[in-house]
Amino acid sequence: MMKYLFITLFALVSLSCGKDASHRIAKIPEASGISYCTDSDTLVVANDEGRYYEISRDGDILNKKKLGKYDLEGVVCTDKKFIFAIEDEGLLFVKRKTGKKKKVAFNTDYHTKKLPLFDKKDGVEGLAKNGDTLYLAKQAKKKNDSFIAVVHFDRYHQKVIDLIKHKVPDTAGLTMHNGLLYMVSDKKDLLIQYDMKKKKITYKVKLPKAAQEGIAFDGKGFVYIADDDGYVLKYSEKDLGL
């Protein structure tokens, strides 16, 4: 039986206080995805109303923009563009300098079967990127229906090349950090570390009760969580036992 590493009782007590104002750095309605921008040392936050917000690492809102009537979920920040996951439609690419938008709906076939990825009820909630590979987290209330689609993506082709069947319900946020895949489960209030080489979960952290829908690391020792209840939360990696 798989054994998980858990944080100490002291850390659990600290996290139980995480809903207080000390961890809230920004108030953003229906915050559903978050990503760190290395070039500008800022964060981009997506929300369910089709808006995105750029904020400082201390939570100051620097910019906000309405993109349209989209249910924006996961987001990835690159040097040139933002990539948003639209829960029931596909991906939305937005150039950071010009704001020019391009929506992409791609083939979700995998081994001759169509994957139930983009759906109004249980669609794509989390998004992460590593080189030309995208990771799309399928939201599902049942653990056996939950998975992450691994997609090779370039300007000419989009193809699902693998599935990560992690058996965690309601995976609503996703990010890459130090070669590991991290996800948050809204239903279980968990932060989960997944080792893709070992193909297994290697760490779990129980989070305070919230509506976790996004996660980001800034590479400076801090972790940010988008809370659909209307906040961005900031923790040190030490707080989370990472």
Amino acid occupying residue 35: S
Q: Does residue 143 carry a pLDDT above 90?
A: no
Residue 241 falls within a domain, yes or no?
no
- Answer whether 234's CB lies under 8 Å from 219's CB: no
Instruction: Compute φ and ψ for 43, nearest 5 degrees.
Output: -120, 145
Give pLDDT, residue 4. Answer: 39
Residue 95: which residues within 8 A CB-CB, separation 6 or more?
80, 81
Give pLDDT, residue 21. Answer: 67
CATH classification of the domain holding 89: 2.130.10.10
Give pLDDT, residue 116. Answer: 84
- Closest C-alpha to 148, from 164, 169, 127: 164
Residue 48 falls within a domain, yes or no?
yes
Indicate the pLDDT class of residue 19, thresholds 50, 70 and 90. low
Total number of domains constituting the chain: 1
Give pLDDT, residue 7. Answer: 38
**pTM, full prediction:** 0.88
Residue 4 falls within a domain, yes or no?
no
Mean local confidence (pLDDT), 102-124: 85
Mean local confidence (pLDDT), 74-103: 94
- Answer whether 100's CB lies under 8 Å from 106's CB: no
Residue 197 falls within a domain, yes or no?
yes
Q: How many Cβ atoms sit within 10 Å of the Cβ of residue 114?
A: 10
- Answer whether 178's CB lies under 8 Å from 128's CB: no
Indicate the pLDDT class of residue 20, thresholds 50, 70 and 90. low
Q: Which two tokens stand for residue 26?
A: 């920004």
Residue 1 falls within a domain, yes or no?
no
CA distance 81 to 96: 5
Residue 93 falls within a domain, yes or no?
yes
Indicate the pLDDT class of residue 115, thresholds 50, 70 and 90. confident
Q: What is the residue range of 223's domain?
A: 9-236
Residue 44 falls within a domain, yes or no?
yes
Q: Where are the beta strands (DSSP E) in 90-210?
A: 90-95, 101-104, 109-110, 113-114, 124-130, 133-138, 147-153, 158-164, 171-177, 180-185, 190-195, 200-206
Instruction: Compute φ and ψ for 13, nearest 5 degrees.
Output: -65, -40
Give pLDDT, residue 107. Answer: 81
- Dump the DSSP string for 188-200: TTEEEEEETTTTE
Give pLDDT, residue 221. Answer: 96
Residue 187 falls within a domain, yes or no?
yes
Q: Does residue 81 carry a pLDDT above 80?
A: yes
Q: How many Cβ atoms sit within 10 Å of the Cβ of residue 191?
A: 25
Q: Does residue 205 carry a pLDDT above 90?
A: yes
Q: What angle do CA 142, 129, 231 make, to 5 degrees?
A: 65
